[in-house]
Amino acid sequence: MSNYLAIATVTATIGRIVSEALDRVPDPSGIPKVRFGPPQADPQRIGCTIFLYRTTMNTFRRNDDLPTRDDGGQFVGRPRVTVDADYLMTFAGDETTLEAQRFLGAVVSALHAQPFLSADAVRRTVAGTAYLRGSDFDPQTKVRLVPGTIDQQFMAQLWSTFPQVPYNVTALYTASSIPIDADVTPVPQRAVLEVDARVLPR
């Protein structure tokens, strides 16, 4: 079971992991910040910005829930869609001390060491985040964080959507795969009590 808060739960959990990684980087200006949303033209902001810029249906699991209805159109199972979420992570800091690069190194190292969202991280995120109340995301769900490959053309297209924002050190990650169940109640199916098998003459 995983309701409509599944994507937000995954994003917030990634933010927690990133925040904990940044906490290990010495920062004379205070604790590095983590924010969600598109990159902003704010030279005073230090840390990491996490932006969910695209979601796609997971090709390999798009039919896992079939069939969901019987011949009469009644739900016999809870419909489930499984998506992959693509994140743009940008890092900003004092360039004279290579802060952005140090933040990047801390984050990619942490995500490489923990490529799956742990059950503990999911539970702590849901418990400590008010807007995730009601999330029933299964902590045992294996959501993998896969680093993306950035070629020059794709990078130019992606950053062209932020014309007022100077380029920052960037990393791309995909969270695969996130299940979302529809809020419907399937009709209980009658159990088969007996099988009447017989041979009829032709």
Q: Is residue 77 part of a domain?
A: yes
Q: Is residue 145 part of a domain?
A: yes
Tell the burial category of 146 from Cβ atoms under 10 Å away from its Cβ (0-12, 13-18, 19+): middle
d(CA 25, CA 181): 38
| Per-residue pLDDT tens digits of the chain, which is 202 residues long | 789 999 999 999 999 999 999 998 887 667 688 999 999 887 566 789 999 999 999 987 666 655 555 555 555 556 778 999 999 999 988 888 898 999 999 999 999 999 999 999 999 999 999 999 999 998 888 999 999 987 888 888 888 999 889 888 999 999 998 999 877 665 565 555 566 666 667 6
Q: Is residue 186 part of a domain?
A: no
Give pLDDT, residue 72: 55
Give pLDDT, residue 40: 85
Report how many domains make up the chain.
1
Q: Is residue 166 part of a domain?
A: yes
Q: Is residue 191 part of a domain?
A: no
Q: Which one-letter DSSP state was computed for residue 58?
A: -
d(CA 163, CA 149): 22
